[in-house]
Structure 1
C-alpha cells in the first residue's frame, strides 16, 4: 500500500468510460507525473484525487484513509492550477494565507508559515503587492506558496507551467525540482510536455485513451517502452520506428531493413527476444542518439552495426546536429556531434548502437520481448 493509492479506479460520463481501471500506488515523497496528449484522462484523474470529480468505481486513499466522497477541503491536499487562480483584490500575502484563515489557523501560525514559505520561494519583497503587479513567473511562485503554507499530505499540480514562456518554463522546472528535493513532499503533477515529465519525475505514468500505457522511472519509460505509443510519445526527437523483417538463426537474431539504395541490410541484435520468429514482420525502434557516426558511437556497446546510407537533410542544433536519412522508405533521425562531417546528398557510414534497439509487433503495437 502506498501513501496515495489509486486502486482500480474508473470514470464514466453516462455510458462512456473515460478512465479505465487505473492502478497506481504513490509512495511518500514521490514525484509522480501523469503525462499524455490532450484528452487522455490525466486531468480527470488529478481532479478525482482532489475530489473535484466523482469516482465511478474503485477507491482512492490517502495515508490509508479512503477519500471517495470526502469533500476536497477535508482531504488535506493542495492544488496548483494552470491559471494560478489568485484573488486579484488581495495582496500576495493575503492570497497565500487565505486558506489557512478559512481553516481557523491562528494568526501567529499563519504569519510564521507565510514568512517561512516566502523565504523559501524568495518572494518576501512581493508580499504587499497585488497579483496584477506580478509577472507570470512571480504569480506561479505565489500559487505554489499558497499550496506550501498549507503543509498538505499531497500536492497536485495541473499543468502549472503551460502559461509561461519557454525560458521561464525551464527555470521554474528547476525551482520545482529543487523544492521537491528540499522538502521531500509527495507530488502528483499533470503535463502534456514529455520533457517536463522526464526532468521532474521520480516515476511517470504515460496515459492515452483513458489507459495508463506504462508506469515506471523516466529511464525505464525512455529506454524500455512497452508499446509504440510510449516509444513515440516520449523523447524529442521521438524514437525512429521502421518496418523490418526478423532474421533468426539458432540463438542469434537480426532485423532486415532496406537502405537508401534499395539494398537489404541485416542489422544484428545483441540477443534474440523469446517472442521473435524468423521472417516475422516487426517494427524496429531506435532512438536518434543511438544512430551516429564512428567517432560518436558508444565504445561500451555490445553490438554496433555499420551501414553506408544517403544523407537527406542536416539540421544544426548547437551542441548536436540532427541528420535525416531513410531506412525502409521512412525518414530516420540521427543525432550526431556538432562537428559531424556528413553532408546532404552524400553517402555516409552510420553506426547504430543495436543494444538500444527495441522491437514491436506491427499489429498489436506491443513490445516483442
Structure 2
C-alpha cells in the first residue's frame, strides 16, 4: 500500500472510456510524473485525484483513506495549475493565505506560514504586489507558494511550466527539483514534456490512449522501454527504430541490417536470449548517443560494434553534433561530440554500443525480454 493509491481506476464519459484500469501506488515523498501526448488522460487522472472529476470505477486512497466522492476541500491536497489561477484583486500575500483563511486558520499562524514559504521561494519582496505586476516566473512561484502554505499530504501540478519561455522553464524546473529535495513532499506532476519527466521525477508513468504504457524510474523508462510507444516518445532525439532480422554468427545472435548502399551489415547483440528469434524479423532500437565515432565510444562497454556507412546530414548543435545516416531504409541519428570530424557525403566508421540496443517484436510492438 502506498501513500497515494490509485487502484483499478477507470473513467468514462457516456459510452467512451478514457481511462482504463489505472493502478499506481505512490510512496510518501515520491515525485511521480504522468507524461504522455495531449488527450492521453493524464490531466483527467490528476483531476480525479484532486476530486475535480468523478471516478467511474476503482478507488483512490490517500494515507489509507478512500477519497472517492470526498469533496476536494476535504482531501488535504494542493493543486498548482497551468494558468496560475491567482486572484487579480488580491496581493501576493493575500493570494497565498486565502485558502488558510477560508479554513479558519488563525492570523498569527497564517502569517508564520506565509513568512516561511515566502523565504523558501525567495519572494519576500513581492508580498504586497498584485499578480498583474509580476512576471510569469514570479506568478508561478506565488502559485506554488499558495500550495506550500497549506502543508498538504499531496501536491498536484498540472503542466505548471508550459506558459513560460524556454529559459525560464529550465530555471523553474531546477527550482521545483530543489524544493522537492528539501521538503521531500509527495508530488504528482503532469506534463507532455518528456525532458521535464526525466529530469524531475523519481518515477514516471508513461500514458497513451488512457493506458499506462510503462511505470518505472527515469533510467528504466529510458534504457529499457517496454514498447515502441515508450521508446519513441521518451528521449530527444527519439530512439532509432531499424528493421532487422536475427541471425546467428559464431554462436551469438546478430542484427542483420543494411547500410545506405544496401550492403548487408551484422551487429552482435549482447542479449543471448535473442537466439530464439533466429531467422525472424525484429525492430532494433538504438538511442542516438549509443552511435558515435570510435574515439567517443563508451569505454566501459563490452560490445562496441564497428559500422561503416555513408553520412547523409550533419547538424552541429553546440555541445553535440547530430549525424544522420540510413540503415535498412530508415533515417538513423547518431549523437557525437561537437568536434567529431564528420561531414555529409563521406563514408564514416561509426561505433555502435550494442550493450544499449533493445529489440522489439514487430507484431506486438512489445520489447523482447529475457
**TM bucket normalised to smaller:** over 0.9
Paired with 1:348 and 1:177, the residues of 2 have a C-alpha distance of 41
Q: Structure 1 251/3 Cα, relative in aligned 2: closer, same or farther at 3 Å?
A: farther
- Which residue does 2:98 correspond to in 1? 98
- Which residue does 1:268 correspond to in 2? 268
User: Any runs of at least 4 consecutive aligned residues in structure 1 with deviations exceeding 3 A, and if so which?
Assistant: 248-251
Alignment of 1:51-200 (within 5 A): 51-200=51-200
Q: Cα distance, 1:249 vs. partner? A: 5.6
Paired with 1:292 and 1:129, the residues of 2 have a C-alpha distance of 52
- Which residue does 1:332 correspond to in 2? 332
Contact between 1:240 and 1:285, CA under 8 Å: does it hold in 2? Answer: yes
Contact between 1:275 and 1:368, CA under 8 Å: does it hold in 2? Answer: no
Paired with 2:200 and 2:194, the residues of 1 have a C-alpha distance of 10
Paired with 2:276 and 2:210, the residues of 1 have a C-alpha distance of 30
- Which residue does 2:295 correspond to in 1? 295
Contact between 1:248 and 1:277, CA under 8 Å: does it hold in 2? Answer: no
Deviation string for 1:3-60 (max 9, x for gaps)?
Answer: 0000000001111110000000000000000000000000000000000000001000
Q: Cα distance, 1:261 vs. partner? A: 1.5
For normalisation by structure 1, the TM-score amounts to 0.99
- Which residue does 1:24 correspond to in 2? 24
Contact between 2:10 and 2:18, CA under 8 Å: does it hold in 1? Answer: yes
Paired with 2:229 and 2:216, the residues of 1 have a C-alpha distance of 15
For normalisation by structure 2, the TM-score amounts to 0.99
Figure out how many residues of one structure are paired with residues of the other and give that number.
Answer: 369
Within the alignment, does 1:246 sit opposite 2:265 as a pair?
no
Q: Cα distance, 1:319 vs. partner? A: 0.8
Paired with 1:307 and 1:91, the residues of 2 have a C-alpha distance of 63
Q: How big is the alpha-carbon RMSD for the aligned residues of Structure 1 and Structure 2?
A: 0.9
Q: Structure 1 311/249 Cα, relative in aligned 2: closer, same or farther at 3 Å?
A: closer
Q: Cα distance, 1:276 vs. partner? A: 3.8
Q: Which runs of 5+ in 1 are unaligned?
A: none
Q: Structure 1 338/274 Cα, relative in aligned 2: closer, same or farther at 3 Å?
A: closer
Within the alignment, does 1:34 sit opposite 2:65 as a pair?
no
- Which residue does 1:203 correspond to in 2? 203
Which secondary structure state, in structure 2, belongs to the residue aligned with residue 147 of structure 1? Answer: helix
Paired with 1:286 and 1:181, the residues of 2 have a C-alpha distance of 32
- Which residue does 1:259 correspond to in 2? 259
Contact between 1:239 and 1:287, CA under 8 Å: does it hold in 2? Answer: yes
Paired with 2:249 and 2:243, the residues of 1 have a C-alpha distance of 20
Paired with 1:183 and 1:150, the residues of 2 have a C-alpha distance of 13
Paired with 1:274 and 1:310, the residues of 2 have a C-alpha distance of 28
Which secondary structure state, in structure 1, belongs to the residue aligned with residue 236 of structure 2? Answer: coil
- Which residue does 1:321 correspond to in 2? 321
Paired with 2:345 and 2:250, the residues of 1 have a C-alpha distance of 39
Which secondary structure state, in structure 1, belongs to the residue aligned with residue 265 of structure 2? Answer: strand
Contact between 2:136 and 2:164, CA under 8 Å: does it hold in 1? Answer: yes
Deviation string for 1:125-181 (max 9, x for gaps)?
Answer: 000000000000000000000000000000000000000000000000000000000
Paired with 2:8 and 2:250, the residues of 1 have a C-alpha distance of 43
Q: Structure 1 258/156 Cα, relative in aligned 2: closer, same or farther at 3 Å?
A: same
Paired with 1:50 and 1:275, the residues of 2 have a C-alpha distance of 49
- Which residue does 1:12 correspond to in 2? 12
Q: Structure 1 276/167 Cα, relative in aligned 2: closer, same or farther at 3 Å?
A: farther
Paired with 2:265 and 2:275, the residues of 1 have a C-alpha distance of 22
Q: Which runs of 5+ in 2 are unaligned?
A: none
